[in-house]
């Protein structure tokens, strides 16, 4: 298996750095049991532009609410559709690109792409924790040890965000259909305490929960961006 684009190339969207976490407060309190008082008929904080891109069959949404357009801090909320309403079942602190967000992501900009992306494949250094998505375990996910030590375990668990990649392949498949300049290897992965190069990161416990919860039969997607772009 390719080493996430020979590691240095394909892992550039992820990892690196250290620092203290100051998460966003958008979308609810940071608790594993944060639930809204009334179930909405659409995911809160998502405007028409992005809402129209969510596939009709989607019943699981991972919403990433960025603290600001240039902030590395964000909040992840998991929503599940029941009938015609969406229930927010979990809310967690997270990190995104260290320079914030962009509507036109390209390689090396250190910003996470704003948008709606399917979630179809997972993997990591560690053994499958019971993922419902197809899971590839391989040492090839290991972050290079010339990176800051805080980032060595970033890819113990990953979920591929389907941005400029081929769905149905392991997350570290280096193929980029839109070309190298558009970036790629953008994942949900484990947190090292500060912003990433473009990925979204959270704690090991939260990654394990998502891996065990996201179900391909529910057509899960991630909706991600800073609050202003999410509301557009």
Full set of structural domains in the chain with CATH: 48-79+87-231 (2.40.440.10)
Backbone CA torsion sign across 203, 46, 121, 67: negative
Burial profile 35-69: b = 16 or more Cβ within 10 angstroms, e = fewer: ebeebeebbbbbeeebeeebeeebbbbbbbbbbeb
Q: Read off the pLDDT of each residue in 137-153 and give the average, rounded to a whole number.
A: 95
Structure confidence by residue, pLDDT tens digits, 23-76: 443 444 444 544 444 568 999 999 999 999 999 999 999 999 999 999 999 999
**pLDDT greater than 50 at residue 2:** no
**Residue 27 near residue 75 (C-beta atoms within 8 A):** yes
**Residue 156 near residue 187 (C-beta atoms within 8 A):** no
Structure confidence by residue, pLDDT tens digits, 62-112: 999 999 999 999 999 999 999 999 999 999 999 999 999 999 999 999 999
Cα–Cα distance for residue pair 142/127, rounded to 1 Å: 13
pLDDT band at 10; cut points 50, 70, 90: low
CA dihedral angle for residue 114, residue 118, residue 120, residue 125, rounded to 10 degrees: 10
**Residue 109 near residue 100 (C-beta atoms within 8 A):** no
| Per-residue confidence (pLDDT) for residue 40, from 0 to 100 | 84
Cα–Cα distance for residue pair 93/62, rounded to 1 Å: 13
| Per-residue confidence (pLDDT) for residue 116, from 0 to 100 | 98
Lowest mean pLDDT among 14-18, 105-109, 217-221: 14-18
Q: What is the pTM of this model?
A: 0.86
Distances (CA, A) of 36 to 25, 39, 51, 78, 139: 14, 6, 19, 12, 40
Structure confidence by residue, pLDDT tens digits, 174-213: 999 999 999 999 999 999 999 999 999 999 999 999 999 9
Cα–Cα distance for residue pair 65/50, rounded to 1 Å: 13
């Amino acid at each position: 298996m390719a080493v996430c684009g020979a590691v240095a190339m394909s892992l550039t969207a992820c990892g690196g750095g250290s620092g203290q976490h100051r998460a966003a407060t958008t979308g609810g309190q940071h608790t594993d049991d944060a639930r809204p008082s009334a179930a909405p008929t659409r995911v809160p904080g998502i405007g028409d532009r992005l809402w129209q891109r969510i596939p009709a069959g989607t019943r699981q949404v991972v919403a990433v609410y960025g603290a600001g357009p240039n902030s590395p801090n964000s909040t992840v909320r998991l929503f599940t559709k029941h009938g015609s309403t969406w229930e927010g079942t979990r809310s967690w602190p997270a990190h995104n690109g260290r320079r914030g967000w962009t509507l036109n992501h390209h390689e090396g900009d250190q910003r996470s792409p704003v948008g709606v992306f399917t979630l179809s494949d997972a993997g990591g250094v560690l053994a499958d924790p019971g993922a419902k998505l197809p899971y590839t375990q391989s040492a090839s996910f290991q972050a290079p040890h010339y990176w800051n030590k805080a980032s060595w375990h970033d890819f113990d668990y990953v979920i591929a965000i389907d941005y400029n990649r081929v769905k149905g392949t392991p997350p570290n498949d280096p193929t980029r259909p839109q070309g190298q300049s558009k970036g790629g290897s953008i994942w949900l992965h484990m947190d090292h305490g500060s912003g990433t190069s473009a990925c979204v990161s959270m704690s090991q416990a939260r990654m394990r929960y998502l891996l065990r919860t996201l179900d391909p039969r529910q057509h899960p997607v991630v909706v991600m961006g800073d609050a202003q772009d999410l509301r557009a």
